[in-house]
Chains A and B, each alone.
Chain A
Amino acid sequence: MQTWSLVSICVLLAIIARWGVSLNSYSGAGKPPMFGDYEAQRHWQEVTYNLPIQEWYFNTTNNDLNYWGLDYPPLTAYHSWICAYIAKTINPEWVELHKSRGYESTQHKLFMRMTVLVADLLIYIPAVVLYCLYLTDGSSKKKVSIMFCFLLYPGLILIDYGHFQYNGVSLGFALWGILALGLGWDVLGSMAFSLALNYKQMELYHALPFFCYLLGKCIKTGLIGRGLFLLVRIGVTVLATFALCWLPFLAEPSQAMQVVRRIFPVARGLFEDKVANTWCSLNTLIKIKSILSVPTTVVETDSAMTTQTGLKCNEICYACPFLVFVCSMLPLFLKDGLLVPYIVTSLGFLFFSIYLLSALDHCSEDKLRLGAYNKLFYWLPKMDLAFIVRWKFYISIAAMVGLSIATAVLIPPPHLPDLFPVLVSTTAFLHFLGTFIHFNVVQFSEPPSRKSQKKSN
Chain B
Amino acid sequence: MAADSCSWFPALAVGVSLLKCFFISAYRSTDFEVHRNWLAITHSLPVSRWYYENTSEWTLDYPPLFAWFELGLSQVARRFDANMLQVENLNYASPATVLFQRLSVIVTDVVFIYAARECCRCVREPKGSRDVLSRPSFVLAVLLLWNFGLLVVDHIHFQYNGFLFGFLLLSVAKHLQSQHLQGALLFAFLLNLKHIYLYVAPAYGVYLLRSYCFAQDNKDGSVRWSSFSPLRLLALGAIVTSVCALSFGPFIAMGQLPQVLSRLFPFKRGLCHAYWAPNIWALYNVLDKSLAVLGVRLKLLEEAELPPASMTGGLVQEFEHSVLPSVTPAVTLVCTLLSILPAVASIWLRPHGAQGFLRCLLLCALGCFMFGWHVHEKAILIAILPLSILAVESREDAGIFLILTTTGHYSLFPLLFTPAELPIKVVLMLMFTIFSFTALRKLHSAQGSLLHPLEVIYLLGLVAVAIACEVVFPLSPWQQRLPFLPLLVTSVYCAMGVCYAFLRLYASLLLRREEKPKQL
Contacts and interface: CB of A to CB of B under 8 A. Distances in A.
B76 interface: no
A156 to B, nearest CB: 16
Judged by DSSP, the binding face of B is helix
A5 B7 CA distance: 22
Given A1-B133, A5-B435, A12-B430, A352 B15 contact: yes
A144 to B, nearest CB: 9
A216 interface: no
B2 A16 contact: no
Contacts of A341: 22
Contacts of A6: 133
Interface string A330-363: 0000000000110110011001100111100100
A19 interface: yes
Interface in B202-247: none
Contacts of B14: 351
Interface in A429-451: none
Contacts of A20: 19, 21-23, 26, 424
B18 A344 contact: yes
B430 to A, nearest CB: 6
Interface string A140-184: 011001000000000000000000000000000000000000000
Contact of A16 (B11, B99, B424): B424
A2 interface: yes
Contact of A15 (B2, B18, B133, B423): B423
B402 to A, nearest CB: 15
A17 B22 contact: yes
Contact of A1 (B1, B431, B439): B439
Given A16-B22, A20-B23, A344-B18, A356 B431 contact: no
A59 interface: no
The residue among B22, B424, B430 with the most chain A CB atoms within 10 A of its own CB is: B22
B428 interface: yes
Given A141-B1, A340-B21, A16 B428 contact: yes
B420 A23 contact: yes
Contact of B424 (A19, A356, A361): A19
Contacts of B25: 23-24, 340
Interface string A99-116: 000000011001000000
A1 B23 CA distance: 28
A309 interface: no
Contacts, number: 84
Contact of B434 (A8, A23, A107): A8
A110 B23 CA distance: 16
B26 A344 contact: no
Nearest to A142: B1
A236 interface: no
B1 A110 contact: no
A19 B427 contact: yes
Interface string A207-238: 00000000000000000000000000000000
B258 interface: no
A408 interface: no
A348 B424 contact: no
Interface residues of A, number: 36
B297 interface: no
A110 B427 contact: no
A317 B25 CA distance: 33
A13 interface: yes
Given A1-B438, A9-B431, A23-B25, A340 B424 contact: no
Contacts of A107: 419
A139 to B, nearest CB: 9
A21 interface: yes
A6 B21 CA distance: 23
A259 interface: no
Nearest to A145: B1
Nearest to B151: A16
Nearest to B438: A5
A117 interface: yes
A39 B304 CA distance: 57
A355 B438 contact: no
Contacts of A24: 25
B26 A23 contact: yes
Nearest to B21: A344
Contact of B7 (A15, A23, A355, A357): A355
Contacts of A2: 438
B124 interface: no
B419 A110 contact: yes
Contacts of B442: 1
B259 interface: no
Nearest to B428: A16
Interface string B76-110: 00000000000000000000000100000000000
B315 to A, nearest CB: 27
Contacts of A1: 133-134, 438-439, 442
Contacts of B420: 23, 106, 110
A344 B134 contact: no
B3 interface: yes
Interface in B166-187: none
B71 interface: no
Interface in A68-85: none
Nearest to A141: B1
Contacts of A344: 18, 21-22
A16 B23 CA distance: 10
A17 B424 CA distance: 10
Contacts of B438: 1-2, 5
Contact of A358 (B2, B21, B24, B99): B2
Contacts of B3: 355-356, 358
A106 B435 CA distance: 33
B327 to A, nearest CB: 40
A177 B438 CA distance: 34
Interface in B20-44: 21-26
B299 to A, nearest CB: 46
27 contacts: A2-B438, A9-B431, A9-B435, A12-B427, A12-B431, A12-B434, A13-B19, A13-B431, A15-B427, A16-B19, A16-B424, A16-B431, A17-B19, A19-B423, A19-B424, A20-B19, A20-B22, A23-B26, A23-B420, A110-B420, A344-B21, A347-B18, A351-B11, A351-B14, A352-B11, A352-B15, A357-B2
Given A5-B435, A356-B1, 16 more contacts: A1-B133, A1-B439, A9-B431, A13-B19, A16-B428, A19-B22, A20-B424, A23-B26, A110-B419, A110-B420, A141-B1, A142-B1, A340-B25, A340-B99, A343-B21, A344-B22
Interface of A: 1-2, 5-6, 8-9, 12-13, 15-17, 19-21, 23-24, 106-107, 110, 117, 141-142, 145, 340-341, 343-344, 347-348, 351-352, 355-358, 361
